[in-house]
Amino acid sequence: MTAQQLFDELKNGKVKKVIIDGDYSAEIDDQCALVYCLGSEKIDVIGVNAAAFYEYPVAVDTEEVMIRSYKEIERVYDYIGLTGDELPYFEGARSQITNNPDHGPSDSPAARNIIKAAHESDERVYVIVTGPCTNVVSAYLLDPSIKDNIVVVWVGGLALENEHAFETHHEWNICADVEAAKILLREDIPLVFLPCEPHGTADIHMPFRDFGLIKGDNRGAEFFRWILPSKEVDEEKYKTKMKVMCDLAGPASVIDPSMMRISIIKAPIVEDGPKYVLDPNGREILYGIYPDSDRITADALRCIEKFVNR
């Protein structure tokens, strides 16, 4: 699949099968991205994966944090009235590829489910990754043939427009597993690359008080109106503070790619540091920057409200 073919498929308006893979124990935008997918008419969610997060300069215990993400999926399911029988969810990697012998795969139920879905689906499976890319890269290392039936949509790394991208820099999702990021950008895996920080997904933001716009007299609506935001703000800050919602870019790029500027570029090489090096002979990938924050957050809130009131 060429980058142009992927671009054409992304824009065709058809419903896409999606596995969403996130570090749900980090911030609150992963939970919103999950239910954004569930409520969208353009996405058919077929699985949910748990991943660990990383916070510079503190390296976390990958296994312990992944389990926290898994338990957060269970908590969200409880509030929105969803069960694992209706939509299966899976534990992810217990170690970084970076820390594995010879940088081998981190086998996990999440990786195995990606492989299973890729082989069993009669349509391409979009793996939306809102945290480190360990699970999907491990799936590829375990079975490289899945590249013929998956697309990875990864929220991570810095925008190439950022001069610091070519110096040593720290961005959560790339630093959570640098070797996984190297492989994802290097290998012939269909990729929609959605960098973080200014110019990229960090341009998606909304006032915390906008969570209060979600209507509904049920536990799911109350969860998104206040219980989830209260993880990060008190009542006073809820009224005044803005929230960066990077992870909404993943679903938005699949739902309606016109909500950001997507182009075909040569994939950068990731070197230790980590930092980028441009490769004029590199493979072509899709690259999404300058997201339309107002359109994306409004669509996400609409989809979340729709799902919790289903």
Tell which residue, 135, 124, 122, has the closest CA to residue 94: 135
Tell which residue, 271, 266, 268, has the closest CA to residue 167: 271
Could you tell me which residues are beta bridge partners of residue 126? Answer: 18, 151
Give the count of domains, the chain.
Answer: 1
**DSSP assigned state of 119:** H
Q: Degrees (nearest 5) of the Cα angle 201, 207, 210?
A: 110
Q: pLDDT category, 163, cuts 50, 70, 90?
A: confident
Q: Which domain holds residue 299?
A: 3-308
Are the CB atoms for 249 and 192 separated by under 8 Å?
A: no
Average pLDDT for the chain:
95
Are the CB atoms for 304 and 36 separated by under 8 Å?
A: yes
pLDDT tens string 100-142: 999 999 999 999 999 999 999 999 999 999 999 999 999 999 9
Helix (H, G, I), strand (E, B) or coil at 49: strand
**DSSP assigned state of 11:** T
CATH number of the domain residue 157 falls in? 3.90.245.10
Is it the case that residue 209 has pLDDT exceeding 90?
A: yes
158: exposed, middle or buried (C-beta count within 10 Å: 0-12, 13-18, 19+)?
buried
Tell which residue, 231, 247, 249, 219, has the closest CA to residue 79: 219
Residue found under tokens 């893979």 = 21
| Two tokens, residue 14 | 């058809």
Q: Specify the higher pLDDT residue, 1 or 15.
A: 15
Q: What is the pLDDT of residue 184?
A: 98
